[in-house]
Amino acid sequence: MNTQFTSSNVGGNLANDNFSISLWVAKDGDMEANATALNTGFYSTNSPNNSWAEKTQIDVDSSNKLRWNTNSPSQNYNLQTTSAINTSQWYHIIVTHNNAGESKLYVDGVLDDSESAGSHKAGFYALNVGINRSDNPAKTWKGYIDEVKVFGRTFSVDDVVTDCMKADNCSWVPPTAPTLAGTGRAQAIMLTWNQQVGTDNATIYWRTSGGASEGSPTAPTASDNVINTSDNQTSYLLTGLTGGHYYHFVIKANNRNGSSPVSSVLGNVQPTSFVANTFDTNNGGICKIQNDKSLHCKGRNNLDQYDNARTARPAAVDVFGITNAETISHDYNKVSVIKSDGSYQHRGYDDSRGSLTSPVTGVSNPIQVEQGYDFVAYLMSNGTIRTRGDNTYGQLGNGSNTNETSGSVQVSGITTAVKIVTGQWHMCALLSNAQVWCWGVNSFGELGDGTTTHRNAPVQASLPSNTAVDIFVGGRTSAAVLSNGKVYTWGSNTNSKAKCSTNTNAISTPRELTVISDVKEIDFGTGHSVILKNNGNVYTCGTNYTSSNVAGNAAFLAGMSSSAEKTNGAILMDDFNGRVVSVRADGSNSYMLLDNGSLACIGDNEYGQCNNDGSTINTDQTTPIIIPDM
């Protein structure tokens, strides 16, 4: 008997307290009924009233069932196992009690019996291991008892499983499958699930029904397609899928003892062919597709970007006069739109390279358009890319440096692109296998191949794994977000916008932006980057100016000792936490698309691109505002 564990230091009657008892037991074959593994007080010596009252013990009954037995002054009460225990087999036992009088009995991590009526008038007057409350030698435990532990809290189910699984003898098997969710990406599906306590990994079965939706999808099996995940993995990007087709999934949890049943079917998940770009910004202007599918823009209009007046537009104007806009691009003083009928239009700066021409020979029904400084690129529905315009640095990607101004050329070697992005004189493509390939100018390492050699055909960016889920380019800086939420940047690091700390001029090999994780999007202005996390919060890296305060953080602004300071890390924007779904950056502006469709901005307002009255220009916006006419 442990004489240090008495009512004087544990409180006596614990009928209204929280506690848990954990132990391992194994019985021999000649044990009598009421043989006891543990009790909390003897009848005659450990009691204020020399009775069974408030004494509790863990024993076996006459049927060899384990039970948790207590006695109140008026009754005897038991929790007991459903089945008898076997001889010479280890069992993990946990009993719990809370301050509402609820009691539970767990065997090998599984709840076996419980009551909520408060009948367990449990007390601690001692802690006696292997001895019955009556102190009867015939009712001592014959077998083994190990790892007896008492806790001053009520174990949760997860606590019970965790305690059991610490030992090799624990036989607990996951009783239920994880919760599986799937989100359609461009020719891919991002699968996510919860990591259950006591499990090691998960197995996913999947199949497709092609272009046919199923009302009650049939569960996939191991004879279909199988994804075996790594220990502790909770997400998986399934690539190489067909946009618009229907995919069906089930999942099961695994540990060293076995597997759970499979989940219910996660059915009819569709990857997209391309994620439409509904707003974009460039050189002091901002454009956004409206609810009626018209395209409105405001801000700088010096090169006919929005209309032919060549004057700033602080109030939004309707560009193109259409009501079927699907996706847009606003880059290098040009605005481009693809319409729901597959046709496309451009307007803005005429670079004399044919980048404003539509239609273009070889380009029919593109799904994405992107403008470079003096070239244009189209993503086709079959995964190929067509380009047109200047080719000084090989930005057309067809293996030559010859300009193309009469028709279009196909980018060499790429047939599975799901997204394209253009910089000043380079571009990158995200492939369906989650690789990133780039080509064109490479003076600052824009291509991410570890060199500064210009390339007139695609080269693969040297990312640590082929798990990219999105790509971004701003000017001469490139970035990729991986399926684990990490972001890698390469190219120009002006004002530390790509590294958040130092002014390293060129980053030729992609580097992880270690100051932030769980990233959804990133975009680059002149001296800053705006970063969106999956939780809907916005951060800024690079250089913040007191005049524009593009970081949107009042405390950082108040602490600035000069007109421009590096963030030296990722700075959280004060406003719209949890509400942002997409971001864009321009020179000294950041734009945030909110969950209700509203567009917010902060920073420079030289041309009226960031106002909330449709008229103010030249007064910068140092706190985020909603742009009501966008």
Domain extents in the chain = 7-165, 180-269, 486-630
Cα–Cα distance between 210 and 189 in angstroms, integer?
Answer: 15
Beta bridge partners of 26: 144
pLDDT band of 604, cuts 50, 70, 90: very high
Q: Is residue 1 over pLDDT 50?
A: no
Closest CA to 532 of 472, 462, 476: 472
pLDDT band of 73, cuts 50, 70, 90: low
What letter represents residue 78's amino acid? N
Q: Is residue 45 over pLDDT 80?
A: no
Beta bridge partners of 110: 107
Q: What is the pLDDT of residue 39?
A: 83
Cα–Cα distance between 481 and 472 in angstroms, integer?
Answer: 8
Q: Are 311 and 260 in contact (CB under 8 A)?
A: no
Q: Is residue 75 over pLDDT 90?
A: no
What letter represents residue 253's amino acid? A
Cα–Cα distance between 432 and 98 in angstroms, integer?
Answer: 53
Mean pLDDT of 166-187: 88
Q: Are 299 and 609 in contact (CB under 8 A)?
A: yes
Cα–Cα distance between 17 and 320 in angstroms, integer?
Answer: 72
Q: Are 60 and 35 in contact (CB under 8 A)?
A: yes
Closest CA to 425 of 448, 403, 392, 398: 392
Q: How far is CA 48 from CA 44, 124, 203, 220, 252, in A?
A: 9, 11, 56, 63, 52
Q: Is residue 7 over pLDDT 60?
A: no
In a 10 Å sphere around its CB, with 0-12 CB exposed, 13-18 middle and 19+ buried, how is residue 506 labelled? middle
Mean pLDDT of 40-57: 66
Mean pLDDT of 146-153: 89
Q: Is residue 630 over pLDDT 50?
A: yes
Q: What is the pLDDT of residue 48?
A: 54
Beta bridge partners of 295: 289, 319
Structure-block tokens of residue 489? 């940047």
Closest CA to 542 of 582, 505, 511, 502: 502
> What would be the CATH architecture of the domain defined by 180-269?
Sandwich (2.60)
Q: What is the pLDDT of residue 120?
A: 67
The CATH number of domain 486-630, selected from 3.40.50.300, 3.30.750.24, 2.130.10.30, 3.30.1180.20: 2.130.10.30
What letter represents residue 233's amino acid? Q
Closest CA to 389 of 442, 492, 398, 438: 398
Q: What is the pLDDT of residue 51?
A: 61
Q: Is residue 32 over pLDDT 80?
A: yes
Which residue shows structure tokens 């990729």? Answer: 480
For the chain, the residue count is 630
Stretch (H or E) spanning 159: helix 157-165
Sign of CA dihedral 166, 168, 173, 179: positive
Closest CA to 85 of 109, 59, 111, 104: 59
Q: Is residue 159 over pLDDT 90?
A: yes
- Taking the alpha carbons at both ends of the chain, their separation in whole angstroms is 77
CA atoms within 13 A on the CB side of 271: 24
pLDDT band of 8, cuts 50, 70, 90: very low
What letter represents residue 110's amino acid? V
Cα–Cα distance between 205 and 180 in angstroms, integer?
Answer: 12
In a 10 Å sphere around its CB, with 0-12 CB exposed, 13-18 middle and 19+ buried, how is residue 144 labelled? middle
Q: Please, which residues have CB within 8 angstroms of residue 45's CB and are 6 or more apart in sequence?
A: none
Structural class in CATH, domain 7-165: mainly beta
Q: Is residue 571 over pLDDT 90?
A: yes
Q: Is residue 199 over pLDDT 50?
A: yes
pLDDT tens string 471-524 = 999 999 999 999 888 999 999 998 889 888 766 788 999 999 999 999 999 999
In a 10 Å sphere around its CB, with 0-12 CB exposed, 13-18 middle and 19+ buried, how is residue 151 labelled? middle
Q: What percent of the chain has pLDDT over 70?
A: 93
3 state SS of 174: coil
Q: What is the pLDDT of residue 351?
A: 87
Most distant pair of Cα atoms in the chain: their distance: 104
Closest CA to 512 of 464, 560, 471, 547: 464
Q: Is residue 6 over pLDDT 50?
A: no
pLDDT tens string 354-366 = 999 999 999 998 9
3 state SS of 375: strand
Closest CA to 567 of 583, 549, 585: 549
Mean pLDDT of 202-222: 94
Higher pLDDT, 131 or 553: 553
The region of weakest confidence among 62-66, 294-298, 391-395 is 62-66
What letter represents residue 59's amino acid? D
The mean pLDDT of the chain is 89
Q: How far is CA 418 from CA 273, 337, 341, 366, 421, in A?
A: 7, 18, 20, 12, 11
Neighbours of 321 (CB within 10 A): 7
Q: What is the pLDDT of residue 124?
A: 73
pLDDT tens string 106-131 = 999 999 998 876 666 667 777 888 88
Q: What is the pLDDT of residue 240?
A: 76
